[in-house]
Chains A and B, each alone.
Chain A
């Protein structure tokens, strides 16, 4: 296991140290030479990352390998809580305070543009070319780049997936639905035939948090709507956006989704489906490992399919998510920090992460790698799902947008506002906020 991390354990800075570090950095930059770590004054890189959930943590072994390749360098991994809000808060406070207590950080994809705009990230463009990003899924490249520069390397990926009860669908000769309309029909059919009042239809995440933004966006995309037009207008196809929300509301009203999805997050919905109490579930790839774990009531009975589209809308619309690696602009060892980021994003390291843990890499080729597929037989299918994924809007104002939208989406789901009203209000607030930033 990882050595116990000390969240605020920054290396002590003295004037002499800072001066020496500056000289070293300048030397490295001016000479343009490769890193030349002074073995006597060993360099310590600090890597701040979210707690790696899963059966084992492959990160320490990777870092030891990096140290072996770079003599004189020590990498100290410090883990933050798994809660994304907490991580964001930690980074914001330390980066805004111009801290250099960490060099490399694991970033949620939606923060990259924000941190880049704030000047907190080192521009990786001098080291990382566009070509180096090519082997990663397209929807991970978009959030890594902003304003024509590369700010982060894709590392781990997520995609919205429709999980279905293969046994139940098979029993009634059904195949995974391609549209939400077909999904509703299947729910009605299966439930009528099963005569089980405790069997729910489709579960998703409607609690007022980031997950709601993702689910609502997917509904809006499926209905052929967008959050941003090319000219920066908010919800350019207002009717389509309202139609997406109206559909989600209808799922609840008709009982196809239980009313408590308005309080559900990933884990709440995953557990309920995992107990065998629902036919469909929208969730991320991590859930599959848990469904297939020994002792799981739905083991061997769950299938994965692309999120459905809508009749007269999009074919399928799933949001991507995941984590990127970035470098603190105030790092005292930019060359080494960039080297660490590139090392961790390499195929070899991503493979270790994937085989050793329950994580999804961003490199497309790994999903057909023989060793990986042996451990994760579903990966070729997941590959196709990830290829279709769409990133959430890439903008420095993303969190502002998302937290402004959440109450409006939530209001539409619980019926406090009509979908059209909610979209209208969201639009007004967003236009006002964005106006202030120009």
Chain B
């Protein structure tokens, strides 16, 4: 019995080795290199390359621009993921109840998700156009300054992000909904459950696992949000839409402060890891509960 188990363990290790090796080469090595870079002051244009230890992190701790970017990133992530979650779930349940034209609805739903993000960005640039934009036209022709007003720019970006990624959540949920056997619903009906009770006590619990996974993906994506800000506002006005990744990009590729930019990158990595760890714990817990 024990010999057998040892053999299994050895086989498992051999089988896992290629995957672990690939992870080490593709993830761990660049990660460690960025960490090492973040401990240096490296500005190639000025020929500066020296070890500074945690100096960049000390600066970041007191850098108002960094904390502003953290705040923008967290607000963006929380609001857009929450909205995507609620709307996505609503759409999935709506599709379930829909009798006709489901195929068409799914195809339409896929469209925003399938568009390249730069195309989405350009499209919203036109929608939000202060004088010629569709949005202001529909709202009665007032020249609302969507992308140039500090209080409106971030909500406008969140709306664009929700439009683009809500279908992802909706489709994942819908796929799970389709696999729920109709007998369960019949049983619920026999037990006298109404529509609300059915959703609350039957559909939602069955959707929990897939929802957690969809949320995990979406949250990690949102924490690294870059493209919409980059295309639509450049982080402005007054840095009200500058996320951590935009700040990192500006430091790395525009001002070429490689060490400093790497430090921001490491901060993003740490943030993403903490959140991912929380989700993974929840998912494992969920699996334990349902297994």
B148 and A414 contact, CB distance less than 8 A: yes
How many Å from the CB of A237 to the closest CB on chain B?
Answer: 24
A88 and B253 contact, CB distance less than 8 A: yes
Find chain B residues with CB under 8 A from A119 CB: 47
B236 and A260 contact, CB distance less than 8 A: no
A268 to B122, CA, bound (A): 12
A201-209, A292-300, A331-339, A363-371: which lies at the B interface?
A201-209
B148 and A407 contact, CB distance less than 8 A: no
B130 and A258 contact, CB distance less than 8 A: yes
Assess whether B237 is interfacial by the CB under 8 Å rule. yes
A400 to B261, CA, bound (A): 13
How many Å from the CB of B27 to the closest CB on chain A?
Answer: 21
Most A C-beta atoms less than 10 A away, residue of B131, B145, B234, B250: B234
A271 and B132 contact, CB distance less than 8 A: yes
| Known contacts A403-B254, A403-B255, A260 near B242 by CB under 8 Å | no
A400 to B250, CA, bound (A): 9
Assess whether B155 is interfacial by the CB under 8 Å rule. no
How many Å from the CB of A267 to the closest CB on chain B?
Answer: 10
A85 and B236 contact, CB distance less than 8 A: no
| Known contacts A262-B237, A263-B237, A92 near B256 by CB under 8 Å | yes
A117 and B253 contact, CB distance less than 8 A: no
A64 to B149, CA, bound (A): 50
**Other-chain residue from A89, A260, A403, A411 in contact with B130 (beta carbon distance below 8 A):** A260
Find chain A residues with CB under 8 A from B147 CB: 207, 260, 263
Q: How large is the interface on A (under 10, 10 to 19, 20 to 34, 35 or more residues)?
A: 35 or more
Assess whether A396 is interfacial by the CB under 8 Å rule. yes
Assess whether A264 is interfacial by the CB under 8 Å rule. yes
A262 and B255 contact, CB distance less than 8 A: no
B129 and A268 contact, CB distance less than 8 A: yes
A396 to B48, CA, bound (A): 13
A414 and B254 contact, CB distance less than 8 A: no
The B113-165 residues at the A interface (CB cut-off 8 A) are 129-132, 143, 145-150, 153
Most A C-beta atoms less than 10 A away, residue of B41, B131, B149: B131
**Other-chain residue from B146, B233, B257 in contact with A207 (beta carbon distance below 8 A):** B233
How many Å from the CB of A78 to the closest CB on chain B?
Answer: 20
Assess whether A261 is interfacial by the CB under 8 Å rule. yes
A414 and B237 contact, CB distance less than 8 A: yes
Q: Which residue of A lies closest to B59 (CB)?
A: A432
| Known contacts A207-B236, A414-B150, A260 near B131 by CB under 8 Å | yes
Find chain A residues with CB under 8 A from B44 CB: 96, 118
Find chain B residues with CB under 8 A from A259 CB: 143, 145, 148-149
The B41-87 residues at the A interface (CB cut-off 8 A) are 41, 43-48, 65
A114 to B254, CA, bound (A): 11
How many Å from the CB of B144 to the closest CB on chain A?
Answer: 8
Interface residue tally for chain B (C-beta within 8 Å): 35
Q: Which residue of B lies closest to A212 (CB)?
A: B236
B254 and A264 contact, CB distance less than 8 A: no
The A259-295 residues at the B interface (CB cut-off 8 A) are 259-264, 268, 271-272, 275, 277
A417 to B250, CA, bound (A): 22
Assess whether B198 is interfacial by the CB under 8 Å rule. no
Find chain A residues with CB under 8 A from B47 CB: 118-119
B234 and A258 contact, CB distance less than 8 A: no
Assess whether B265 is interfacial by the CB under 8 Å rule. no
Instruction: Provide the A395-438 mask, 1 if CB < 8 A to any CB of B, else 0.
Output: 01101100110110011011011000000000000000000110
Assess whether B235 is interfacial by the CB under 8 Å rule. yes
Instruction: Provide the A182-222 mask, 1 if CB < 8 A to any CB of B, else 0.
Output: 00000000000000000000000011110010000000000
Find chain B residues with CB under 8 A from A96 CB: 44
A264 to B43, CA, bound (A): 32
| Known contacts A207-B236, A410-B238, A263 near B145 by CB under 8 Å | yes
How many Å from the CB of A433 to the closest CB on chain B?
Answer: 8
A399 to B47, CA, bound (A): 16
**Other-chain residue from A261, A400, A414 in contact with B255 (beta carbon distance below 8 A):** A400
**Other-chain residue from A263, A268, A437 in contact with B48 (beta carbon distance below 8 A):** A437
Q: Which residue of A lies closest to B131 (CB)?
A: A272
B45 and A117 contact, CB distance less than 8 A: yes
A407 and B65 contact, CB distance less than 8 A: yes
A208 and B145 contact, CB distance less than 8 A: no
Assess whether B203 is interfacial by the CB under 8 Å rule. no
A212 to B148, CA, bound (A): 13
The B15-44 residues at the A interface (CB cut-off 8 A) are 41, 43-44
Most B C-beta atoms less than 10 A away, residue of A89, A208, A397, A403: A208
Q: Which residue of A lies closest to B256 (CB)?
A: A92
Find chain B residues with CB under 8 A from A417 CB: 238
Q: List 21 A-B residue pairs with CB atoms under 8 Å apart, sorted by A's residue number.
A: A88-B254, A207-B147, A208-B233, A258-B131, A259-B143, A259-B145, A259-B148, A260-B147, A260-B148, A262-B149, A263-B237, A272-B131, A277-B131, A399-B256, A400-B256, A400-B257, A403-B255, A410-B237, A414-B149, A414-B238, A416-B238
A-side residues, CB < 8 A to B, are 85, 88-89, 92, 96, 114-115, 117-119, 206-209, 212, 258-264, 268, 271-272, 275, 277, 396-397, 399-400, 403-404, 406-407, 410-411, 413-414, 416-417, 436-437
Instruction: Add 13 more A-B contacts to A208-B234, A262-B237 (CB < 8 A).
Output: A92-B256, A208-B236, A208-B239, A260-B147, A261-B148, A262-B148, A263-B237, A272-B132, A411-B237, A411-B239, A413-B238, A414-B150, A416-B237
Counting from the closest, the 9 A-B pairs by CB-CB distance are A208-B236, A263-B148, A262-B148, A260-B130, A411-B238, A263-B147, A118-B45, A400-B255, A407-B239
